[in-house]
Chains A and B, each alone.
Chain A
Amino acid sequence: MTEARQNAGMKPYIVVWMGLILIVAIEVWLTYQHLPAGRLLASLLVLAFIGAALGAMYFMHLRYERASLSWSLIPYLIFALVMMDHVWPDAFRLMHQRLSAP
């Protein structure tokens, strides 16, 4: 696996780096398009996850490792992040109540 990476040289990493720079540029451009906040947040999150996936697959070499490594690590992180989602109903409740500051 290491040999395969070395044969490829720096070229794939430079391409990924350019892709990540492009993602940042698109994010900034989207921010100034005056989209509704929810749509802007969704767009930025999708782009951030694409960037993170590119970085993990190529810079962090998950693409070149055995699939068992990804299957052993990623589901735990997803599970932890999904479990954190229980806060949103309360956040939206407070938003709709529009409580004023004491």
Chain B
Amino acid sequence: MGESAMTMGIRPGALTEPSPYGIQSKKLAIWLFIIADAATFGAVLFAYGYLRVANPNWTRPFEFWPTIANGIAMTVALLTSSLAMMGAVQSAQAGRKSPSLRWLGMTIALGLVFVLLLVREWSAMIGAGWRLSQNPQGGSVLFGATFFGITGLHLLHVICGVVAIAVIAIGFDRNRLDAGHVETTALYWHFLTLVQMFVFPLVYLMNVR
């Protein structure tokens, strides 16, 4: 402990105390981020709920094929990617690098499947005339704003997650990062799966024709 710390009144050993939660600081940091981000998604879903209730001419445009089927595929892809991420964490913690990297690769692939499916969904809707402020079916124009806003926010998170996993995988492969980094990234990825557990029923299923 430096002299400046002593003179500031910090007691000796304070900087080396174990965490009261028994976890690494990076894990606590990602948990704090997740809670804040959950409040963000909560806010946009509440805004969507408000607009939906307050607008008498809300549009319910989705058919089972292709939109709901596409949504099911997206949800299953994310759920399966979370399972793959669990495999990566377990292998990393057991010191098995190659299997961990394979699981991380599978997680990235499934994340990209989710991205492609959502982009396909967006393309079909934009092709049908949907915009942030346009409703080709004549109902409330806010449907497009909320749908593209909520799914777009989630899409941005998933793309960031895919990039983060790729960076972590490269660092883990080169021994610059350890199993703790894989687990921390996994927490963020699982959070995105949990968000989809709300987005799919509220934004897709509640808008079935």
Contact = CB atoms under 8 A, between A and B. Distances in A.
Measured as residues with beta carbon below 8 angstroms from the partner, the interface class of chain B is: 35 or more
Contact of B53 (A51, A65, A68, A95): A95
Interface string A45-68: 101100110011001110001101
B35 interface: yes
Interface of A: 1-2, 5-6, 9-10, 13-14, 17, 20-21, 23-24, 27-28, 31-32, 37, 40-41, 44-45, 47-48, 51-52, 55-56, 59-61, 65-66, 68-69, 72-73, 76-77, 80-81, 84-85, 87-88, 90-92, 94-95, 98-99, 101
Contacts of B105: none
B38 interface: yes
Nearest to A25: B72
A91 B21 contact: no
Contact of B20 (A6, A68, A76): A68
B70 interface: no
B131 interface: no
B39 A94 contact: no
Interface string B37-56: 01100110011011001111
A44 B136 CA distance: 28
Contact of A84 (B46, B191, B200): B46
Given A87-B50, A94-B54, A52 B198 contact: yes
Contacts of B206: 37, 40-41, 44
B115 to A, nearest CB: 19
A84 B42 contact: yes
B208 A31 contact: yes
